[in-house]
A and B are shown apart, each in its own frame.
Chain A
Amino acid sequence: MKAFAKLITPYVVWMCAMIIVPMLMIVLYAFTVQGNSVLTLQFTLSNFARFFSDPIFPSVLLRSLKMALFTTVFCIMIGYPIAYIMARFKPSSQGLCVLLVTLPMLINMLVRTYAWKGILSNFGFSSEINVYIGMVYNFIPYMILQIYTALSKIDPSLIIAAHDLGADDRETFLRVTLPLSLSGVVSGITLVFLPAVSSFFIPKFLGGGQYVLIGNLIEDYFVSTGDWNFGAAISMIMALIILGSMYITRKLDKQIGEDED
């Protein structure tokens, strides 16, 4: 094994250059402001103070979290039954179902969102509903596939055993199938909630610019205002929230694992 250890070097270099360094730069920008010509950088917390001193910015953050939360809930509510039905098909049809779910993911997200823009413009829903439709549509395959994988891993003999012991269908589902599939739901939540918090072009395109989320705010401060320091501070706040929610889902996942044992 040791002989292969060197093979990891390009990967480490790549990671550093493409992930670590940019992240450190975000941190650097977030804690500085542009100084004068003598001192080009001034360390400060003012970017963070600016974010929290004005209720408008935290309110955008809350709105983004709410949006991501509802998107995740919708994805579970719609995705779970679909995954459940898929898992009950005979194995040969299951492959086709997986293909059907993954097929749209092969098309660029931007293209799909543009298509929705065209479709939704004919209906005249409020911009909020448009954004939800786009978000749920874009993220639901991740949820379905995670739940489906968990469901299809359940040993059928467990279901038979439950029936033998006198459980009806409802009870079997609630006491056997559902608990065993929760790990899939949790990883689905990770895959849906985290990108949903930071998504910016779905709300931008489908919300007609009226639906400002934290991702839009970051883009705005980087691109159109040119205030990278404040943009970086918002990015960092969001990164911390994402780390926090990852920690929580990780914990949940572990707990479920322990319950199953």
Chain B
Amino acid sequence: MKSINKVTKTLLVCSVAALTGCGSSTSSVTETIDAQEQFGCSVINVYNAGEYIGEDVISNFEEKYNARVNYDTFDSNEIMYTKLLGGSSYDVLVPSDYMIERLINEDQLQPLDKSVMEYEDELDPAVLEMRKAYDPEGKYSMPYFWGTVGLVYDTTVVPTEKIEKEGWEILKDTEYAGNLYYYDSQRDGFMVAFKALGYSMNTDNEEEIEAAYQWLREMNETMSPSYVTDEVIDGMVNGKKALAIMYSGDAAYVLSENENMAWYEPEEGTNKWADAMVIPKNASCSGLANAFINYATGYDVQYENSDYVGYTSVRKDVVDELYGAGGTYEGISAYNPRSDGKNDEVFHYNATLTKKLADLWNKVKIQ
């Protein structure tokens, strides 16, 4: 969902890949397909989140299809949305669940060509189940990465029993005042408060919103947290703070870099999310776009992406390989997030609520 901007990470993953004999390298393609011949066009514009793809994924695709991919990245779903509606033409987008739901509701997407999708049956059933939340018929989207939001904590400072006992409330434990990173986004910020209070993260109940707002204000006052986004990754790798709210994919990287860090998903529930590939209505080369989406769901590409980025693959076989013995993320619990939590929810988009929570979130920080 969120991306990592770090050169060191690139270098590290490269060297790991080199040491392990580059098990990730996509089997260099033997048969080439001529996109121009098959689809009548040979250029697609792909719009993805930053640092969210393996190194050779694009070039291998270009080689395989004798095509050109214009690859562009965005910082947030909202920026992607604005650009798309501003008339920019893209063939493949990789937005998050709630944004896909919004694009479907606003009739901005075209159905995928399911006859091309060879690998849909091979995807993790839990991920396909989750898709029903944002794409009920599964017509428009093909999952790309998924994960949860949870807590990363320094085991030398925070005892595991304590975090298991307190759950999200540990963010208000004054023993760690000034020693935590809070994720600076109204969506994740309020999700934690809603869940800590036992509400749904999609609530529009005034009283519950007010209670969550008070929870956050109190947290802000007593804990003086640092509000960060991507900086949390560096901070936790260097052990700057004892506690942080993080996306599972970023946490997987932190845990693999700093062995003192551990991952916990509170029992009260959390946000489980997925980013998926979709094709907008105004795509100029939807044939090749469908081929790209199919290509990006195959084992090799999913492996390369997940290995490189650290986010959890939507293919169980890839997760088993990377998480299992000898894998890049062997024993890194954040790489294998919870998919069956009974209190976990998928976020739903609601324009008025987003506006309201954004104002409240700013108020929390400004106090």
A residues contacting B by CB (< 8 A) are 54, 56, 59-60, 121, 205, 208-210, 212, 217, 220-221, 223-228
Contacts and interface: CB of A to CB of B under 8 A. Distances in A.
Contacts of B228: 208-209
A220 to B, nearest CB: 7
B7 interface: no
Interface residues of B, number: 26
B363 A56 contact: yes
B336 to A, nearest CB: 28
B155 interface: no
B76 A60 contact: no
Interface residues of chain B: helix, strand, loop or mixed (majority): helix
A227 B82 contact: no
Nearest to A221: B358
Contacts of A224: 76, 78, 185-186, 358
B210 interface: no
A256 B221 CA distance: 47
B218 interface: no
Contacts of B184: 209
Contacts, number: 55
A217 B362 CA distance: 8
29 contacts: A54-B363, A56-B362, A60-B366, A121-B240, A205-B231, A208-B227, A209-B184, A209-B228, A209-B365, A210-B224, A210-B225, A210-B226, A212-B362, A212-B365, A220-B358, A221-B358, A223-B75, A223-B79, A224-B186, A224-B358, A225-B186, A225-B358, A226-B77, A226-B78, A226-B81, A226-B82, A226-B354, A227-B358, A228-B82
A222 to B, nearest CB: 8
Contacts of B185: 224
Nearest to B185: A224
B359 interface: yes
Nearest 9 CB-CB pairs, A to B? A209-B227, A226-B78, A208-B226, A225-B358, A56-B363, A212-B366, A209-B184, A212-B365, A223-B76
Contacts of A60: 366
Given A56-B359, A59-B366, 19 more contacts: A54-B363, A56-B362, A56-B366, A208-B228, A209-B226, A209-B365, A210-B227, A210-B365, A220-B358, A220-B362, A223-B78, A223-B79, A225-B78, A225-B358, A226-B76, A226-B77, A226-B79, A226-B82, A228-B82
